[in-house]
Structure 1
């Protein structure tokens, strides 16, 4: 299970070779319009409640922020898993600010919901409170992988009370815990995903934690990527979310790579990067 969970970690590792080298980020002069980086900024009392911040040079109060949310089955993973995404954005979408966040990891005494959703809210509130200091706008977008894709969708659909999210990307993220592919499964790997959220398997709770059931017509533009042979995320997690967004008339794109699993490289990776870049530029 752990190896499968970690497959996504190297999902975008080739992106650093696709893009050009980044400029240095020397902020020694303190110029607010110079590029700036800060690491392990605390947004809470827990050691996992930290994020890395990357501010582009020549930014203004119209500069928007992309928030990266790592995967790991809600119980593992780290913001460093998203470094390839961070590098790609810095090189190819260099006008955007980047937040690469950690969140509190779930264990038997601390279920992921609502703890991890609350952590995203805390990060967004922190950015809002410091937008003048950072010289950024309050407009945000999300890129999440695996469990991070689920959290990104769920927060954007159900917890963005101020409608700040301009786009959200889920790569192999679960979307619907009432999917028969989960509820009627005989696969211990899939069952472990359900069990992560505790013993409450009532339909109302499963719907509450499912982006599929929380999406509305006001959901932000959404781009989805899934693998047809993913052992952890049934194909229906992607296709059902696509169909729901179509029904709600929400702007979206959906890509299924039929022969891929819980992550991919090569031409499909290049395809993902190009589509994601275009989607961000179009909607943010």
Structure 2
């Protein structure tokens, strides 16, 4: 009798402690670094969960770094994480890395597939992480291209509610044929495995512009007028396409700004617009 009573008391204590621990975890902010969503070393993310989160109302913002699809890492956006946490403390933030194209390896659509896998991984962790199915994407340069591509191309397992592009490529054939500098065609040929003539399918399938339809997710486009890596026309043509099918969007062109080498005043304005936009469409 004594042993059975002891077992029951211990079991009750374990269950009580377990439930309290779960509640305490959800009540406190939590950071998880180098969370793997695949087997490659670059298929990983850093996750920042807010305090008092829950599966009904805690929105998710996924960040995707740039680097021409050939370099860079999620650590490049650590300052952005800090900025967004201060502005949007109730949001869960996932900062992802992905495989990089190099020497004929991991060419398109490897990066597209990695973003899809990362989104699916986060979606499947909703209950464990205490997050909702309200997802938004934000990317810079090549990361913006990947954010736009995923948003317009995929609606399963979750439709992205809003997407933000910092100077991202949108239509790769035009980018190849009308480059802002002579290195761009070489870069595109390297990451796609060909030219628009030799490999037209991958250029078509990798261009967010081609997947815009009525009902696409609201889009915020931020670009500098003097960008010599991704021409501002890449955002303006997408803006026109979104308008043509009545998709809510905002295009902000910063006069004199280049490819990310923006002044603090420009970045302050940009992140104010990001905050307002994301809160409007992915509250």
> Which TM bucket (shorter chain)?
0.7 to 0.9
d(CA) in 2 for partners of 1:45, 1:185: 35
Q: Which residue of 2 aligns with 1:4?
A: none
Structure 1 residues 201, 174: closer, same or farther in 2, change over 3 A?
A: same
State the TM-score, normalizing by the size of structure 2: 0.86
| Deviations 1:20-46, CA, capped at 9 Å, x for gaps | xxxxxxx99962221111100011110
State the TM-score, normalizing by the size of structure 1: 0.86
How far did 1:125 drift?
A: 1.4
Q: Which residue of 2 aligns with 1:143?
A: 138
Write out the 4+ residue segments of structure 1 that deviate beyond 4 Å after TM superposition.
27-30
d(CA) in 1 for partners of 2:149, 2:31: 28
Matches within 5 A, 1:223-242: 223-242=220-239
- The equivalent position to 1:176 in structure 2, one of 164, 171, 174, is 171
Structure 1 residues 140, 283: closer, same or farther in 2, change over 3 A?
A: same
Larger helix percent: 2
**What is the root-mean-square deviation of aligned Cα atoms in Å?**
1.9
d(CA) in 1 for partners of 2:124, 2:201: 34
In structure 1, the gaps of 5 or more residues are 1-26
How far did 1:198 drift?
A: 1.4
Q: Which residue of 1 aligns with 2:81?
A: 86
Matches within 5 A, 1:125-274: 125-179=120-174, 182-185=176-179, 187-195=181-189, 196-202=191-197, 203-263=200-260, 264-274=262-272
In structure 2, the gaps of 5 or more residues are 1-20
Q: Does 1:50 align with 2:50?
A: no
Which stretch of the first structure deviates more once superposed, 135-144 or 197-206?
197-206
Please tell me whether Structure 1 or Structure 2 has the larger radius of gyration of its CA atoms: 2
Structure ranking higher on relative contact order (CA contacts 8 Å, 6+ apart): 1
